[in-house]
Amino acid sequence: MNSVGSPAYGPYAPGRSGGSFHAPVPVRRGWMGDLRIWWREVDKWLLGLVLVMMLIGTAAVAAASPASAEQLSTAEVRLDEFLFLKSHVVWQIMGVGVMIATSFASRDNARRMGILLFAGMLALLFLVPIIGVEKNGARRWLEVGMSLQPSEFLKPGFAIALAWILSWRLRDPGLPVLTFVTMIMALVAGLLMLQPNLGATILFAGVWFVLVLLSGVSVQRISALVGAGVVGLTATYFLYDNARHRIDAFLGGGTAFDQVDLAQRTLLAGGWTGSGLWLGIRKMNLPEAHTDYIFSVIGEEYGLMICALIVLLYLAIVARVLVRLVDEENLFVLLAGAGLVTQIGGQAFINILVNLQLFPSKGMTLPLISYGGSSTLAVCFTFGLLLAITRRNPFLKRETPGLRDFLENKEERE
Q: Where are the alpha helices (DSSP H) in 240-360?
A: 241-252, 259-269, 294-302, 304-325, 331-355
pLDDT beyond 90 at 13: no
Cα–Cα distance for residue pair 146/165, rounded to 1 Å: 32
Q: What is the mean pLDDT of the chain?
A: 83
Q: Which of 79-83, 171-175, 355-359, 378-382 has the highest mean pLDDT?
A: 378-382
Q: What is the pLDDT of residue 139?
A: 82
pLDDT beyond 90 at 254: no
pLDDT (tens digit per residue) in 311-321: 999 999 999 99
pLDDT beyond 50 at 16: no
Q: Which of 251-255, 354-358, 385-389 has the highest mean pLDDT?
A: 385-389
Task: From 82, 86, 89, select the one nearest 68 (Cα to Cα).
Answer: 82
Q: What percent of the chain has pLDDT over 70?
A: 81
Domain count, the chain: 1
Q: What is the pLDDT of residue 89?
A: 95
Q: What is the pLDDT of residue 5?
A: 46
pLDDT beyond 80 at 361: no
CB 191 within 8 A of CB 130: no
What average pLDDT score do residues 192-220 get? 86
Q: pLDDT-derived band of residue 220, with 50, 70 and 90 as boundaries?
A: confident
Q: What is the pLDDT of residue 12?
A: 42
Q: What is the pLDDT of residue 219?
A: 67
User: Sheet harboring 147-148: ordered strands across?
Assistant: 133-135, 138-143, 147-148
Q: pLDDT-derived band of residue 243, with 50, 70 and 90 as boundaries?
A: low
pLDDT beyond 70 at 21: no
CB 150 within 8 A of CB 200: no
pLDDT beyond 50 at 6: no
pLDDT beyond 60 at 384: yes
**302 domain-assigned:** yes
Which domain, by its residues, includes 266?
Answer: 42-413
What average pLDDT score do residues 14-43 get? 68
**179 domain-assigned:** yes
Task: From 369, 316, 372, select the one nearest 341 (Cα to Cα).
Answer: 316
Choice between 323 and 219, residue whose per-residue pLDDT is larger = 323
pLDDT beyond 50 at 15: no
Strand partners, 143: 147
**213 domain-assigned:** yes
pLDDT beyond 50 at 329: yes
Q: What is the pLDDT of residue 163?
A: 95
Choice between 81 and 393, residue whose per-residue pLDDT is larger = 81
Give the SS3 label for residue 135.
strand
- As a dihedral over the C-alpha atoms of residue 384, residue 387, residue 390, residue 395, rounded to 10 degrees, the angle is -140
**37 domain-assigned:** no
Choice between 160 and 254, residue whose per-residue pLDDT is larger = 160
How is residue 16 annotated by DSSP?
Answer: T
pLDDT beyond 80 at 204: yes
Please work out, in degrees rounded to the nearest 5, the angle formed at the alpha carbon of residue 98 by the alpha carbons of 326 and 3: 45
**26 domain-assigned:** no
**3 domain-assigned:** no
Give the SS3 label for residue 394.
coil
Q: What is the pLDDT of residue 46?
A: 96
